[in-house]
Amino acid sequence: MADTRVNLCGIGLSNPIIPASGTFGYGYEFAELYDINILGTFSFKGTTREPRFGNPTPRIAETASGMLNAVGLQNPGVEKVISEELPKMKKVFHKKVMANVSGFSLDDYVYTCERLDACEEVGWLEVNISCPNVHGGGMSFGTSPESAAEVTRAVKNAVKKPVIIKLSPNVTDIAEIAKACEGAGADGISLINTLLAMRIDLKTRRPLLKNVTGGLSGPAVFPVALRMVYQCAKAVKIPIVGMGGVSSAEDVIEMMLAGATAVEIGAENLVNPCACRDIIEALPTAMEKYKIDKLSDIIGGAI
């Protein structure tokens, strides 16, 4: 029988499949479609210290083999997430969940992580230093090893639960940033966030997105994501959560061979709301096809 279990930063998962932050809300809408407890876990909507309305519209655009988004971290703020969203989520999801956190200063990151660290439902803190769609924060912390390490160190000193730093692909050397996070105490890293991109409306001759640029996700970015996961897996010893254009059980296996311990599914949830369920159900057949008995055995197998 296929063994899909993996261990992420000391917490066991029944399988490596994790819906990515921003594409799964707080889970309860998807729970109306299938039993989301079959998931390894999920990363809930990116949370900031204060409520955010997000960027002006239009902020979503389709493109070949993917999509652009410039949502801008719309969320109700950490206090409402804790008081309103997590209790609703707990009714439908009975495993530890991954809390995705964004900020605009070190104080923001520390405050929000401290508040979520105290929540029983939270198993990991996924600290997003890589959002390309906000000004004055997000990705600016993830584009140099020094600032990435600074955020990592500040959060690690403030919390008890595992800290996974989410990295930006919009850099020259992502492996150097991964090493800086590891050196500052990160328990894991996740990558990649979206690639900075844009489209132009030929009729108006203006950028299609009000924000001008957005993040490219979907199958188009998979080979880039795979390359970066592979590079980081060669550079660090901490677990990696791989993501970027994953849409099939075969993609999951490929990501794990490149060095990922677990795999997040993002844009595919917006194309097919049952994508994660379908991938989990397809994994045993794919494992049999490629003669894999235990998924944990193949992590980094291509390195």
Contact between 274 and 23 under an 8 Å Cβ cutoff? The reply is no
* Amino acid making up residue 197: A
How much of the chain is helix, strand and coil, in % rounded to 5?
Answer: 35, 20, 45
Q: Which of 239, 238, 252, 244 is nearest to 281 (CA)?
A: 252
Q: Which residues are registered as beta bridge partners of 216?
A: 68, 195
Name every residue whose Cβ is closer than 8 Å to that of residue 296 and which is 6 or more positions away in sequence. Answer: 3, 5, 6, 7
For residue 93, what are its two tokens?
């999801």
Helix 249-258, helix 275-289: angle, nearest 10: 70
Q: What are phi and psi of 6, to 5 degrees?
A: -140, 165
Residue among 261, 238, 234 at smallest CA distance from 152:
238
For this structure, is 131 an active site residue?
yes
* 3 state SS for 90-110: HHHCCCCEEEEECCCCHHHHH
Long-range contacts of 200-208 (CB under 8 A, 24+ apart): 208/58, 208/61, 208/68
Q: What does the block give as tokens for 170?
A: 């919009």
Residues 6+ apart with CB under 8 A from 7: 13, 261, 296
> Which amino acid does the sequence have at 170?
N
Residue in 9, 113, 119, 131 annotated catalytic: 131
Distance separating alpha carbons of residues 34 and 37, to the nearest angstrom: 9
Known catalytic residues are: 131
